């Protein structure tokens, strides 16, 4: 490494733990992701802070559990919807805003989903520029839908540049923009947050990937993600900055269903606090800096902010609680132990489970209380409840649940915790309004899938 490293963070949408070939999917061919894993570090026990997208993304950007930043619920909803008057508070610090203090060029491409009002857009949170769809690709006009959202916006910075775009073309357009950003900033440190549309429903994918897929449109979308990764890696090599760039690949939550099997051997799906809802892939590659191998140490998306800050020489805020820990000693091979030994699973504003070491205790699922204990080291599929056999472990983890409730709040017990407010404006307005005279590419998308 000859300079402060570039950082590329690739975040997929609804890609399950088991979807990449290097995580064992029997149908998906992902040569570029497999190469990343063979040249870097692959994590087996990496968690997103929520099993759904808005809280997951806000948490990763700020290094905080969702309730800490007011992202447990969104005026009664699981995620943010178009035109809501709420979003990521402008007072929060993000990975991008921290790296800006170190002279980084910053850009986000793809899905933001932390608020679509001007005050909450990524350009107000440390990103120099933005190109993408600001929320989920099903928040659009779709055939057969009982509720029609306004036309799906494609944005450049803070302006809508196209409505109801051809979704088959989105990934190639994102890749083109990413390559341009990398080339423009080859001589200075840069941070690129590439947030894929895939594999969220509805799945529109280019014919080439669909034709080659052995797992239908879903497999085609996985292949498109892999291709995009390959293009970025090739560009880094071509420009001679491969050894100066940390590339991280992950997903915002587990897959919504088992696409053969997308969540691997893990129990549960998107929206659930079983392992399949929140344990996701993480591949980290930085030639000459990150040792090659596989780690089963516990790590989480909220750790990326302090980790990237440490690597870039940026300061983590000291005027607020940050829940993430610095993983850079583990990532750079200075230790084999993670500083994270505990992880708290949230469903909206409720603590549903806690992991400490190998043990995971479930205390709630939705409105129902429970007490189930699993040994994730020997039973990652959460098939054998050990609660009756391990009362001491249950008691110890119950104390950790109580501590999490006191610290982060818990709607089920009425605890408020040490939490900061969500951002809010007086009135929310959608970015687009349907015009029957507008020559949309597709006035309504012909796929009725929503995810």
Total length of the chain:
451
Active-site residue, 53 included: yes
Peptide bond into 5 cis (omega under 30): no
Under a CB-based contact definition with an 8 Å cutoff, are residues 302 and 69 in contact?
no
CA distance 68 to 58: 10
Q: CB count, 10 Å around CB of 128?
A: 18
Peptide bond into 202 cis (omega under 30): yes
**How far apart, in whole angstroms, are the C-alpha atoms of residue 311 and residue 324?**
15
- What are the tokens at 351? 């603590």
Torsional class of 323: left (φ above 0), alpha (ψ -120 to 50), beta (otherwise):
alpha
CA distance 49 to 30: 26
Q: Which residue has the tokens 């805020």?
A: 317
Q: Work out whether strand 190-195 and strand 6-12 pair parallel, antiparallel, or are unpaired.
A: parallel
The SS3 assignment for 407 reads helix
In which residue are the tokens 């020559």 written?
439
What tokens appear for 61 in the block?
Answer: 């950007």
Q: How many CB atoms are located within 10 Å of the residue 375 CB?
A: 17
Q: Determine the Cα–Cα distance for residues 216 and 359; give it in Å rounded to an integer.
A: 37
Residue 267's CB is within 10 A of a number of other CB atoms, namely: 16
Angle between helices 170-184 and 216-239 (to 10 degrees): 10
Q: Which residues pair with 425 in a beta bridge?
A: none
Catalytic residue among 32, 113, 347, 362: 113
The two three-digit tokens of residue 404, written as one number: 């999490």
- On the 0-12 / 13-18 / 19+ scale of CB atoms within 10 A, 102 is middle
Identified catalytic residue from 12, 53, 114, 386:
53
Q: Which of 220, 246, 196, 238 is nearest to 95 (CA)?
A: 246
Q: 257: helix, coil or strand?
A: coil
Inter-CA distances, 313 with 1, 70, 262, Å:
14, 28, 37
* Residues designated catalytic: 53, 113
């Amino acid at each position: 490494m000859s300079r402060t490293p570039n950082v590329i963070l690739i975040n997929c949408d609804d890609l399950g733990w088991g979807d990449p070939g290097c995580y064992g999917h029997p149908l998906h061919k992902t040569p570029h992701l497999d190469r990343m894993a063979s040249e870097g570090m692959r994590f087996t026990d990496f968690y997103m802070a929520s099993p759904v997208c808005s809280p997951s993304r806000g948490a990763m950007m700020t290094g905080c559990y969702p309730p800490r930043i007011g992202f447990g619920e969104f005026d009664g909803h699981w995620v943010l919807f178009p035109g809501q008057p709420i979003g990521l508070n402008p007072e929060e610090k993000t990975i991008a805003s921290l790296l800006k203090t170190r002279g980084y060029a910053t850009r986000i491409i793809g899905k933001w989903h932390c608020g679509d009002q001007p005050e909450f857009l990524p350009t107000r949170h440390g990103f120099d520029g933005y190109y993408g769809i600001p929320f989920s690709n099903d928040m659009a006009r779709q055939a057969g839908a009982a509720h029609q959202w306004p036309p799906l916006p494609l944005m450049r910075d803070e302006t809508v540049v196209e409505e109801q775009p051809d979704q088959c073309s989105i990934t190639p357009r994102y890749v083109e923009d990413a390559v341009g950003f990398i080339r423009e900033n080859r001589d200075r440190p840069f941070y690129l947050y590439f947030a894929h549309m895939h594999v969220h429903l509805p799945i529109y994918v280019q014919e080439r990937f669909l034709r080659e897929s052995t797992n239908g449109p879903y497999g085609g979308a996985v292949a498109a993600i892999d291709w995009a990764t390959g293009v970025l890696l090739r560009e880094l090599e071509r420009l001679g900055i491969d050894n100066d760039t940390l590339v991280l690949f992950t997903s915002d939550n587990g897959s919504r269903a088992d696409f053969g099997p997308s969540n691997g051997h893990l129990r549960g799906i998107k929206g659930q606090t079983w392992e399949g809802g929140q344990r996701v892939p993480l591949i980290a590659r930085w030639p000459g800096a990150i040792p090659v191998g596989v780690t089963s140490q516990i790590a989480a998306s909220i750790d990326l902010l302090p980790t990237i800050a440490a690597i870039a020489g940026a300061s983590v805020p000291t005027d607020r609680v940050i829940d993430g820990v610095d993983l850079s000693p583990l990532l750079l091979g200075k230790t084999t132990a993670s500083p994270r030994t505990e992880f708290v699973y949230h469903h909206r504003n409720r603590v549903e489970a806690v992991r400490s070491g190998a043990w995971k205790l479930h205390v709630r699922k939705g409105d129902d209380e429970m007490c189930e204990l699993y040994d994730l080291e020997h039973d990652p599929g959460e098939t054998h409840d050990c609660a009756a056999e391990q009362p001491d472990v249950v008691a110890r983890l119950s104390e950790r649940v109580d501590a999490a409730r006191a610290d982060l709040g818990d709607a089920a017990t009425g605890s408020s915790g040490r939490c900061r407010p969500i951002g809010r404006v007086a009135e929310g307005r959608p970015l687009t309004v349907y015009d029957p005279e507008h020559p949309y590419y597709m006035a309504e998308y012909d796929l009725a899938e929503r995810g």
